[in-house]
Amino acid sequence: MLTGSHLDHLIVYVHDLAESTSFYSGKLGLPLFESDERRAFLGAGGLEICLQPAADHGVQLYGRRDDSSDVVFLVEDLERMRTALEARGVEFMRRRSYEVGLVTDFYDPNGHRLMLYQPSEEALTWPSAPKLRQIWRCWGRGGDELMGPAAEPARGTDLETGLRGNPLCYLFMFENDQTTAFEFYDETLGLNLLERVHCCNQNCAEEIEGIAKYDGGGVLLSTHHMHPSGIVTDDLGVPYSPREFDPAHGQGIAPVFRVDDIESTVAKLTERGVGFARGIERRPEGAFARFEDPFGHPFYVRELAVEADKDRNWMMPTAHR
């Protein structure tokens, strides 16, 4: 199973690699490690973002706004960072303040949903809080008033640095059946559950635990159920959360789990009903296997070759055709 495994990459499929690289590196300020005509690697804290052309991998992207997932960055001061990113050319859509803290979201050029998150004092007392503090302590740049000491002090203003030093903290995978989601992520994959809580929709019954948070290593991997009834609005009355689910829309991002023994991992997961339609794909730089959750969200497990483990210039496989 994936017990103890961690996420070390997030594949983000894009329409135009040059345009998306410019957005993530230029507008957001994420450090660009390397790029060529096939991919671009950028730093996002405890894992790297790997941009890849969707057309090269048989992936179809849907519309200007794809709310099937949410990629969330941890910030100390949301309003200050939002103002800085707006000055760098980022257009924000919504802002909401509630018990979890402050959130504001925006979209990349491919319609992928991104978010800034400033935790509340209450949220920093929850079972998931030690992981947020660890992420900040390991990869954050800034002060220690909100989440404790950062890895490094801030370097320059937010306008100068953008999100550099504001690590990716959450990967939300939206779904339409929280029971099925819990059975798959907790029981089938064997991920370490940190917390199950009610979602942000006041119309959902109090006993419904629509959010489950798992330890993904350098990030929290979380499932979040859709809101089929009742409109949730932001601070300005704008509809806030997605309410419709289409499995075809979930192909745009693919988290990657690092494993030590891919044959054993695939065998154990196959016994538990996880499908690997393409089997194990072997390349000189390592072995890869792709699977999907019950809602169409793709994932990879990967085992690097010994030599590739010393050299970060490895190649991700094709997704599907």
Q: DSSP characters for 62-80?
A: -SS-EEEEEEEEE-S-HHH
User: For residue 72, how many other CB atoms are within 10 A of its CB?
Assistant: 20
What would the pLDDT profile of 48-74 be if each residue is shown by its tens digit? 999 999 999 999 898 778 888 999 999
Please return the burial class of 182, using the count of CB atoms within 10 Å of its CB with bins 0-12, 13-18 and 19+: middle
What contacts 320, CB < 8 A, 6 or more positions away?
57, 58, 59, 277, 278, 290
Residue with tokens 């949410």: 70
Strands in 92-98's sheet, in edge-to-edge order, are 92-98, 101-107, 112-119, 66-74, 168-175, 220-225, 211-215, 193-197
- Whether the pTM exceeds 0.75: the reply is yes
3-state secondary structure of 140: coil
Q: What share of the chain is helix, strand, coil (3-state, %, to 5)?
A: 20, 35, 45
What residue segments make up the domains of the chain, in order of their start? 6-310
Q: How much is the pLDDT for 308?
A: 53
Q: How much is the pLDDT for 3?
A: 92
Per-residue pLDDT of the chain in tens (321 residues, 90 and over written 9):
899 999 999 999 999 999 999 999 999 999 999 999 999 999 999 999 999 999 999 998 987 788 889 999 999 999 999 999 999 999 998 899 989 999 999 999 999 999 999 999 999 999 999 999 999 999 999 998 889 999 999 989 999 999 999 999 999 999 988 899 999 999 999 999 999 876 666 666 666 667 899 999 999 999 988 766 667 778 888 777 655 667 777 899 999 999 999 999 999 999 999 999 999 999 887 899 999 999 999 999 999 876 554 455 444 444 432
Q: How much is the pLDDT for 138?
A: 96
Tell me the CB-side half-sphere exposure of residue 279, using CA atoms within 13 A.
Answer: 3
What contacts 64, CB < 8 A, 6 or more positions away?
107, 111
CATH architecture group of domain 6-310? Roll (3.10)
What contacts 297, CB < 8 A, 6 or more positions away?
68, 69, 173, 250, 253, 254
Strands 6-14, 48-53: pairing kind? parallel
Distance CA(209)–CA(96), nearest Å, equals: 20
What would the pLDDT profile of 16-43 be if each residue is shown by its tens digit? 999 999 999 999 999 999 999 999 999 9
